[in-house]
Amino acid sequence: MTDSSTPTLEIRDFSLVFDTFDGTYHAIDKVNLTLRPGEAMGLVGETGCGKSVLTRAAFGLVPTPPARITSGSVTLEGRELLGLSDRALRGVRGKDVAMIFQDPMTYLNPVFRIGTQLVDAIRAQSGGKASKAEARALALEMLDKVHLPNPERQFRSYPHELSGGMRQRVLIAMALAAKPKLLIADEPTTALDVTIQAQILDLMAELVEDMGLTMIMISHDLGVVAQVCSRVAVMYAGKIVEDAPIRQIFDAPSHPYTQGLLAALPHPFKPVDKLASIPGSLPDLLNPPEGCRFAARCAKAHAACAAPVDFRTVGPGHEVACTLYDLAETKELAHEH
Amino acid sequence: MLRLILKRLGLMIVMLLGLAVITFTIANVAPGDPARLAAGPDASQEMVEQVRAERGFDKPVPVRFFIYLGQLARGDLGTSVYTGREVARDIAQFLPATLELVLFSITIAVVFGIPLGVLAAVWQNKAGDHGIRLLAVSGAALPMFWLGLMLQWYLALELDLFPLGGRLGVFDDVPPKITGMITIDALLDGDPGTAFTALWHMVLPALALSLPALAAIIRVNRAEMLEVLGRDYVTNARAQGIGPFRIIAAYALKNAILPTLAMIGLRFGWMLGGTVLVEGVFDFPGVGLYAAKAAVSSDFEPIMAVTLILGAAFMVTNLLIDLAYALLDPRVRNQI
Ligand SMILES: Nc1ncnc2c1ncn2[C@@H]1O[C@H](COP(=O)(O)OP(=O)(O)OP(=O)(O)O)[C@@H](O)[C@H]1O
Ligand code: SF4
Ligand SMILES: [Mg+2]
């Protein structure tokens, strides 16, 4: 049915606004993303740039209102998702598209047993077809797969009886039980201790390998992304500004914002220090600039940056939304530091 | 769990002692000669003095308090001047009616309040939400006493839908006394008709008693549901494809109900106090009416006894609520 040329996920021209008391907040602007089967892509950018909103809204997880999708299309293996009913989207979530989130402390329900929550999720993923016993068996199998010690016992535990790392393993088991076509991991290690972070990243890398997962991994941290992903999309103020293979991002970062991210990262495995080195602040998304959203902070900004900026291809699979790559003279400017 | 119950029962005794001190003090600083009251208006001065000596009214207040405590410990609640009977007997007669009424009222408040609070949250800012909130605001703003009068005037007098008051009609037979609660006794007696009549008599007073509690439960439950529906674990449940009914009725409600429970306990106390007013309006022969009549004739022993009994009922309810809390929330359960 789906040949290898059909992308697992294709987001085209996706824009979303929040209708707020102060006006229309242009949170996501004309985003394009393509994910091929088996690909693990990182999505990086500083806090508030729209990573979570983008990956949740695409699957109907951002309440509307206040959000409103103003343009675009989201297809999963060729099937359009925007405009689907709540019920149809529910059939997609969990089963085809799984998510794991940042804070394992808050994403499990405190008053239900781990086992109950796993069984509920697995039965929902199966569209109600799995019996309780089947769901239970699969849940225990998954807990084993994520290397949770003593699965039978944890099955009867409540979330507060587990450590953060254990809870994240439970959430990963829950997300992957249905063998989803796509996994969205939204900063799955940010809230964990460094040693636990490493264990969870190892587990994720193992699962990506074993299960042939197609994944988007969200992070502030290029170092984390580099451990699991082969490609990176860099997001700034609601727009993707650069999309490239991971090596290219480290070897030839092209967008001035990406260059700033890397400059703030002396060692690729050290976390980004909240962009301390790039002066200025995010543009006002209630009245976003028409041209490049990074212009106010960009040392290389020039007249052409005031008009809308499209993607340019600067290498194999390497695209960048920056006017520096149009003309011979500005191309030289692009790599000056 | 058992430790918690024992600890709380111990605490209850301390609190009841405190309550006894307060009511006893109030009764004894109130104007009027207790000996004269006890002896009755027609008694001669000698008879009054005789009563004073017999009942210990001539002793200092602290001594009398300990005598009173001694009586309480023996289950002797004193004698009512008004009915001329032992207070304990009066209470045994009137308490079941009040319990029946208050249990019916709290059931109404909970059975309607929780679903309405949930619906208001689910329909946030839509017409249904506005309607439910209007009910909640009016229920909170109207005094029980006035509410009772209005219900009685409109639904009983004008529309003749409900009886004006009492527990049963004049010609209805009272079922043999088992619990003293007529609905239950009638059902035990295999007489659902009388049970229904008794329930029908309680509708208006129960509405008056329950509306303020209903309003409070709606408000708290709505606010908690809104908060809980925005929590991360709800997002995760939705991300798993779990349907809205299970999310609302189980994942969210089981969390939102915890603060609501605390409110229910508090409101139950208000309801117990409210019986003093509402039973009067509906001429409902419970301890509330008994206490109100006693108050009018400065008949202190019944008032003190009713206060202690309602206080104990309030404390027991709150213990039950804390146990329910522990049952619902594993984090609380682990602490006790
Ligand atoms: N309900 C909402 N109403 C208005 N604005 C919102 C709402 N939800 C999110 N936003 C805005 O959308 C923007 C994107 O938020 P998002 O959570 O996607 O950021 P993020 O990139 O995931 O950040 P982080 O790294 O901190 O998780 C933010 O600026 C936020 O203020
Ligand atoms: S488009 Fe212009 S302002 Fe934007 S990053 Fe490129 S050079 Fe800077
Ligand atoms: Mg986020």
For ligand 2, say whether the CB of A334 is within 6 Å of any of its atoms: no
Contacts of A160 in chain B (CB under 8 A): 330-331, 334
Between strands A215-219 and A182-186, the pairing is parallel
Q: Tell which of B122, B236, B329, B334 to mutate to test the A interface (max A CBs under 10 Å).
A: B236
CA of A304 to the centre of ligand 2 (A): 9
Amino acid letter for position A178 = A
Contact partners, residue B288, CB within 8 Å, separation at least 6: B98, B274, B275, B276, B277, B278, B279, B280, B306
- Report the distance separating Cα B96 and Cα B107, nearest Å: 16
Q: Work out the minimum CA distance from B162 to partner chain A, whole angstroms.
A: 43
| Record: contact B238-A160, CB cut-off 8 A | no
User: The tokens 């008051």 sit on which residue?
Assistant: B165
**Which parts of chain A have pLDDT scores under 70?**
1-4, 265-278, 327-337
Provide the H-helix boundaries in chain B: 2-29, 34-39, 45-55, 61-73, 87-122, 127-141, 144-151, 182-188, 192-229, 232-239, 244-246, 253-281, 287-296, 300-328, 330-335
How many Cβ atoms are within 10 Å of B230's Cβ, its own excluded? 11
Please report the pLDDT score of residue A1 as a whole number.
45
Q: CB of A205 within 8 A of CB of A173?
A: no
Atom index in ligand 1 nearest the CA of residue A45 equals 21
Q: CB of B179 within 8 A of CB of B96?
A: yes
User: The tokens 């340019």 sit on which residue?
Assistant: A312
For ligand 1, say whether the CB of A219 is within 6 Å of any of its atoms: no
| Record: contact B242-A86, CB cut-off 8 A | no
Please report the pLDDT score of residue A231 as a whole number.
92
Q: Which of residues 245-264 of B touch A (CB under 8 A)?
A: 246, 250-251, 254-255
- Report the distance separating Cα A227 and Cα A244, nearest Å: 15
Please report the pLDDT score of residue A275 as a whole number.
46
As a dihedral over the C-alpha atoms of residue A213, residue A219, residue A225, residue A229, rounded to 10 degrees, the angle is: 30
Element (H, E) at A101: none
- Report the distance separating Cα B175 and Cα B18, nearest Å: 39
pLDDT in tens, A241-271: 999 998 888 888 888 888 888 877 655 454 5
User: The tokens 């003593």 sit on which residue?
Assistant: A150
Nearest to B331 among A56, A110, A112 (CB): A110
Please report the pLDDT score of residue A334 as a whole number.
61
Q: Work out the minimum CA distance from A106 to partner chain B, whole angstroms.
A: 6
Q: What's the half-sphere exposure (Cβ side, CA atoms, 13 Å) at A163?
A: 10
User: The tokens 């084993």 sit on which residue?
Assistant: A144
Task: Report the number of secondary-structure helices (H) and strands (E) in chain A.
Answer: 11, 12
Residue of B nearest to A120 (CA): B242
Q: pLDDT 10s digit of each residue in chain B, 336 long?
A: 788 788 888 988 898 889 888 888 887 776 677 777 777 777 778 888 887 777 777 777 788 888 888 888 888 888 887 788 888 888 888 999 999 999 999 999 999 999 999 999 999 888 989 999 998 888 888 888 888 888 888 888 788 888 887 888 777 778 888 888 888 888 888 888 888 888 888 989 999 999 999 999 999 999 999 999 989 999 999 888 898 899 998 999 999 998 888 888 888 888 888 898 889 888 889 899 898 888 888 788 888 888 888 888 888 888 888 888 888 888 887 766
User: The tokens 């990243």 sit on which residue?
Assistant: A201
Q: Work out the minimum CA distance from A93 to partner chain B, whole angstroms.
A: 5
**Burial (CB count within 10 angstroms: exposed 0-12, middle 13-18, buried 19+), residue A215:** buried
- Helix A132-145 with A164-176: angle, nearest 10 deg: 130
For ligand 1, say whether the CB of A72 is within 6 Å of any of its atoms: no
Amino acid letter for position A129 = K
Q: What is the ipTM of this complex?
A: 0.83
Structure tokens at B54: 């017999």
Please report the pLDDT score of residue A274 as a whole number.
46
